[in-house]
Structure 1
Amino acid sequence: MTVAERHGQIWVGIDAGKAHHWAVGINAGGEKVFSRKVINGEEEILALMAAACEMADEVRWAVDICGRASTLLLALLIAHGQSVVYVPGRTVNRMSAAYRDEGKTDAKDALVIADTARMRQDFTHLSLPDETVANLRLLTAHRADLIADREIRETFHLDECAEVIESLPGMGPILGAEFLAIVGDLSHCADVGRRAAHAGLAPVARDSGRRTGKYHRPKRYHRRLRHVFYTAAQTAMMRPGPSRDYYLMKRAEGLLHVQALLALARRRVDVLWAMLRDKRCFTLAASAAQSA
């Protein structure tokens, strides 16, 4: 991307993807000043940021995804003091009809995002959450190699809850980091039943009118949190101990393999939250006492 002219202000719209993003910059008149593909890696994102900042006195960034695909991008932009707004995908889809000549491409979507952000001032500005949680989200989203895994472990062990979480059989530093990245501030987790329902491991009430006490399996839940507890339960079940004993008991009751694992995962939610509440590491004696 070559710098041909300096502008007072530009808007950069980014169509985010897992492997790469597409960025389009426009000036105050809505004219395109650059369009480029950006690999979803720190070096290329920083290069894009530097080039855009060289083009204008003020750069405003806009994205239509705040999920996993844009984690690294958003973390780098916000950490470097850039202004970033979230343009909902539904809004982008509606606005796309006005850009028929552009065809259906990543570049067109990025242009629509940029132009929409230029014309409207009411979009939500994005900010970073708690530093440790933000670092965990960043690292767990990009653990493609052993170096990233090591960084996850090191960052996880900085948290005061790490020792307690890791002591639960099956809950190693990687799953522990994902758990912390998802739940964030544990001081707001007094209701363990609600947290279990959030993970899709406990029924939720379906009361209406005079009908009360009706429960059903939640249709909306955090799949990554469910994955953490399910994977940890599966790992723990493979070794002798209370988790395997509980799993075998559920199988003896007639539950299928997956059903028994989910029951074990639900049980371990209670155990983990009791450990975190009491700031106590897992021990076989404490587990036996709780089971009794």
Structure 2
Amino acid sequence: METEGINVFIGIDAGKSEHWATALSRNGRKVLDKALPNNEDWLRALYEKLATHGSLLVVVPARHHRGPGSGGDPGHGHHLGYLPRLSMRRIADLTPGSTKTDTRDTAIIASAARTMPHTLSAINTSDENAAALSMLTDLDPDPARQINQTKGRIRGLYTQIHPALEAAPDPWLEHDAVPEVIAA
């Protein structure tokens, strides 16, 4: 995604009752960092206020990319983008702190938009592919969680057969071939 003419980078994390937003200027100064009401008119007014600093880029996590950012229209002076889940997770792992909070998430999103535009994907509000992508990202299960659940099930099966079996293959459960061998 091209961010050459962007002056303000806004990261938004959507919530049911309110959203959290962090906005950074081109030089990295915080312009905004607060909770926002879940209200389309209020968001539009905020975008207009921030547009006094220049062109805006509103970035949301992939799973929300039709959410709070969609109140804006690229024709009204700002652009829309999303940060894919995997990119978000990898950047968060490299960012100091381990607590998952809306404040931290939006700071990561805004910072990634400002310093790593190659991690973003543009949202074209009239693009049918964006709607299709929304369905795919909303239904995309968390692979890491599924892997942990599968390992737990395998350990549970070993325990049911014989408790000593659970400890025997434990180091090998991390290898990709083990679930395939067990399935066969």
Q: Which runs of 5+ in 2 are unaligned?
A: 1-5, 140-184
Higher relative contact order (CA 8 A, sep 6+): 2
Secondary structure in 2 matching 1:71? coil
Count of aligned pairs: 126
The superposition leaves residues 109-154 of structure 1 with CA deviations (integer Å, 9 ceiling, x where unpaired) of 0010011111123322101237xx9xxxxxxxxxxxxxxxxxxxxx
- The answer for the alignment partner of 2:124 in structure 1 is 127
- The answer for the alignment partner of 2:58 in structure 1 is 61
- 1:123-272 maps to which residues of 2 (within 5 A)? 123-129=120-126
Structure 2 counterpart of 1:97, which letter?
Answer: D
Structure 1 counterpart of 2:84, which letter?
Answer: P
Matches of 1:9 and 1:71, distance apart in 2: 23
Q: Note if 1:117 corresponds to 2:113.
A: yes
- The answer for the alignment partner of 2:78 in structure 1 is 82
Secondary structure in 1 matching 2:7? strand
Q: Which runs of 5+ in 1 are unaligned?
A: 1-7, 134-180, 183-219, 224-292
Structure possessing the higher radius of gyration over alpha carbons: 1
The superposition leaves residues 174-198 of structure 1 with CA deviations (integer Å, 9 ceiling, x where unpaired) of xxxxxxx98xxxxxxxxxxxxxxxx
What's the RMSD between the two structures over aligned residues?
3.0
The superposition leaves residues 216-262 of structure 1 with CA deviations (integer Å, 9 ceiling, x where unpaired) of xxxx9x98xxxxxxxxxxxxxxxxxxxxxxxxxxxxxxxxxxxxxxx
The superposition leaves residues 2-52 of structure 1 with CA deviations (integer Å, 9 ceiling, x where unpaired) of xxxxxx812111112232211101122323222011122112211221221
Query: How far apart are residue 60 of structure 1 and its match?
Result: 1.5
- The answer for the alignment partner of 1:13 in structure 2 is 11
Query: How far apart are residue 98 of structure 1 and its match?
Result: 3.5
Structure with greater proportional strand content: 2
- The answer for the alignment partner of 1:25 in structure 2 is 23
Matches of 1:66 and 1:83, distance apart in 2: 18
- CA 1:29–1:107 in 2, change beyond 3 Å: closer, same or farther? same
TM-score scaled to structure 1, two decimals? 0.38
Out of 79, 96, 105, the position equivalent to 1:100 is 96
The superposition leaves residues 53-87 of structure 1 with CA deviations (integer Å, 9 ceiling, x where unpaired) of 12x122211111354xx535233212634201111
- CA 1:53–1:82 in 2, change beyond 3 Å: closer, same or farther? same
Q: Structure 1 segments of 4 or more deviating over 6 A? A: none
- CA 1:120–1:44 in 2, change beyond 3 Å: closer, same or farther? same
Matches of 2:67 and 2:92, distance apart in 1: 26
